[in-house]
Amino acid sequence: MSERDWRPRYVQLAEELREKIQRGELPAGEPLPSEPELAEQTGISRTSVRNAIRQLREWGLVRAEQGRGTFVRRPKVRVKRSNVERYQWEKDRVHEPEEVRRQTGGTEHDTGLSVHDLKFHAKYQEMDAPSDLAHIFGVRSGTKLLQRTYWTSAKTEDAPLSMSRSYLVHEVVAKNPDLLSDRNEPWPGGTHHQLSTVGIEIDHITDHVVARPPSPDEADILRTESGDWVLVLRKISTSTEGKVVEVADAVYPADRTELVYNIGLKRWNQA
Amino acid sequence: MSERDWRPRYVQLAEELREKIQRGELPAGEPLPSEPELAEQTGISRTSVRNAIRQLREWGLVRAEQGRGTFVRRPKVRVKRSNVERYQWEKDRVHEPEEVRRQTGGTEHDTGLSVHDLKFHAKYQEMDAPSDLAHIFGVRSGTKLLQRTYWTSAKTEDAPLSMSRSYLVHEVVAKNPDLLSDRNEPWPGGTHHQLSTVGIEIDHITDHVVARPPSPDEADILRTESGDWVLVLRKISTSTEGKVVEVADAVYPADRTELVYNIGLKRWNQA
DNA sequence: GAGTGGTCTAGACCACTGT
DNA sequence: CAGTGGTCTAGACCACTCC
């Protein structure tokens, strides 16, 4: 006598399919049986079958494609971002000769893809500081900011995408008019070099990491599935004079991203 | 003549309710109209109303409670974890006198809650190293590990919860038998002090941050909503001798957590 | 017991994909 | 064109909460 299974039928079906997928019985890329087929096989209604499939989608195991079928997703390879090393690398790059700086940008360094795999987009806009940014910069709400939006689109499928917004105090960077136009992007040497042209050196950077559901435009650019989340990294850069000079928000698809931070500790015997 | 709205009706309803919530017309804590009520008001079926509400749940805006109603969630306050400072603090604490070490543990430091608000749980188990952990520790698969599971449950509502698993190589810590039993938890001075009793000093720590849907037991302990994700932090500690001595996985509710990393950069003029 | 959300059915039409 | 997933209806019964 086996015990009665009190779980809802759609949960039971979802679990069955999950096990089949994880045992490799339904390999990645393969379609599930169609919804009417599953309904007939299991003797439950199509609505409940759809409920089970919705569960599998929330678990990130399958992806439904309109008119084609529902397919087992291949496990996402997470792209590692080591920001401690990356930020130092970006800073060091400023004193390289221009032809070296031209060869790789931050994005290529992030993704490991070459310039040829990526399309780079940049857009500059002026805006009034909302209260949270004003507070971080230590300026009054409504102070003019330069907002720079960057996104990359990959030519190859399954490549990691990203989207970021950077904020600078307009008055600070306006000393060099070249910094105000997106026609100068991609700037060889990146933000560190841009800021160095107005006499700013960055002393330290603080990363703030949160995860949340994507906004509609983020979902669009990153091509996330329904139920996916994004990792949001707010990078706050402080100059050697102790002023916050840049705030940058980067948005990554959470299931394809791993952030790595290396932290050295003081030795006891050197205290 | 207004244009026809081609979006599905449940999406339209979801958007309408989202706007009402964000305009404050439906304040946090208030119930939505019941499902039959919404169905009647809008003239669509209850199934479609439920679809709209599912959308709002995925957006994290509402929470459904069986038998009571569907309520507007109050925006979650994120608990900040500054691991750079925290890890150094934990290391420094080892050389404090025992009565000081006894007063606060890592958990209290994390959450800002006092000992009285939290129930602390610890469980030790032996296990054979799975291949990923074996690879990190640099030992053979199947090597005996000590697995330590910690979780806190809060007495007050809405308090941040957490759950973590720590792994040590059994042979390494067995030199001090006190380290093998969970009856000695909470250990004054934490892992740094525990390891110091077998002659180990930690030199640096690497944090690996990913986000994913919770496993069923994680969802249970953290009381996450369906559709919520968790932040998983894998902390890898390396000794002054260059060996990985501890791997610890901490799981946090993603919508209540913010991780902060402070990164100092080398000065140009000191190069 | 009345009202809530959770599960479930047996249909229907639609938009999209492939051949 | 047939077959897929997406939307939608009009019912039904259940488990749970609160009075």
Q: Nearest residue (Cα to C1') for D5?
A: A66
Q: Nearest residue of B to residue A83 by CA position?
A: B263
User: Under a CB-based contact definition with an 8 Å cutoff, are residues A180 and A147 in contact?
Assistant: no
- Dist. CA A123–CA A185, nearest whole Å: 9
Lowest mean pLDDT among B129-133, B199-203, B214-218, B247-251: B214-218
For chain B, the C-alpha Rg in angstroms (whole number) is: 24
* Closest-CA residue to B185 (of B139, B150, B225): B150
Identity of residue B262: N
| Chain A nearest CA to B192, separation (Å) | 12
Q: What are phi and psi of B2, to 5 degrees?
A: -90, 155
| Chain B nearest CA to A39, separation (Å) | 19
CB pairs under 8 A between A and B: 136
Tally of CB atoms within 10 A around B76: 15
Q: Which pLDDT does position A132 carry in this prediction?
A: 92
**Separation of CA A8 and C1' C7 in angstroms?**
7
Q: What is the SS3 assignment for B137?
A: helix
Report whether pLDDT(B156) > 70.
Answer: no
Q: What are phi and psi of B123, to 5 degrees?
A: -140, 125
Task: Show which residues on chain B lie within 8 Å of chain A, measured between beta carbons.
Answer: 58-60, 78, 80, 83-84, 87-88, 91-92, 94-95, 201-213, 226-227, 229, 231, 240, 254-255, 257-268
**Mutation choice for A interface testing from B66, B193, B265, B269 by most A CBs within 10 A:** B265
Report whether pLDDT(B145) > 80.
Answer: yes
**Separation of CA A49 and C1' D2 in angstroms?**
22
Question: Rounded mean pLDDT of B118-126?
Answer: 80
- Which residue reads 């916050």 in tokens? A244
Q: Which pLDDT does position B256 carry in this prediction?
A: 83
The per-residue pLDDT string of chain A (271 residues; one tens digit each, 9 = 90 and over) reads 444 567 788 988 998 899 889 888 888 888 888 998 889 888 889 999 999 999 898 888 898 888 888 889 887 777 788 777 888 888 888 777 777 666 665 554 444 444 455 567 788 999 999 999 999 999 999 999 999 988 776 554 444 567 888 999 999 999 999 988 888 777 777 788 889 889 899 898 999 999 988 877 777 777 777 778 889 999 999 999 999 999 999 888 888 888 988 887 777 775 4
User: Under a CB-based contact definition with an 8 Å cutoff, are residues A268 and B240 in contact?
Assistant: no
Q: Which pLDDT does position B119 carry in this prediction?
A: 67
B96-105: pLDDT as tens digits:
777 766 666 5
| Residues of chain B found within 8 Å of residue A94, distances taken between Cβ atoms | 268
* Closest-CA residue to A81 (of A223, A209, A206, A261): A261
**Separation of CA A74 and C1' C8 in angstroms?**
32
Q: Which pLDDT does position A58 carry in this prediction?
A: 85
Q: Nearest residue (Cα to C1') for C16?
A: A67
Task: Give buried/exposed letters for A218-231 (b at 16+ CB in 10 A, else e).
Answer: bbebbebeebbbbb
User: pLDDT category, B161, cuts 50, 70, 90?
Assistant: low
Q: Which pLDDT does position B2 carry in this prediction?
A: 40
What is the percent of chain B with per-residue pLDDT over 70, rounded to a whole number? 85
Q: Tell me if B203 and A268 make a contact (CB, 8 A cut-off).
A: no
| Residues of chain A found within 8 Å of residue B261, distances taken between Cβ atoms | 83-84, 206-207, 209, 261, 263
B169-213: pLDDT as tens digits:
999 999 999 988 888 777 777 788 889 889 899 998 999 999 988
Residue B160, token pair as written in the block = 């941040």
Helical spans, DSSP H, in chain B: 9-23, 35-42, 46-58, 83-92, 98-103, 106-111, 131-137, 170-173, 190-196, 216-222
B1-45: pLDDT as tens digits:
444 567 788 988 998 899 999 888 888 888 888 998 899 888 889
Is the minimum distance from the CB of A6 to strand D below 7 Å?
Answer: no
Residue B212, token pair as written in the block = 């994913």
A186 cis-preceded (ω within 30 degrees of 0): yes
C-alpha distances in Å from residue B35, one per residue of B32, B42, B53, B55, B61: 8, 11, 9, 14, 16
| Chain A nearest CA to B20, separation (Å) | 17
C-alpha distances in Å from residue B98, one per residue of A268, B102, B109: 17, 6, 17
* More reliable by pLDDT, A170 or B151: A170
Q: Which pLDDT does position A157 carry in this prediction?
A: 45
**Mutation choice for B interface testing from A229, A237, A252 by most B CBs within 10 A:** A229
The partner residue sitting opposite B263, judged by closest CB among A95, A204, A209, is: A204
The partner residue sitting opposite B209, judged by closest CB among A229, A259, A266, is: A259
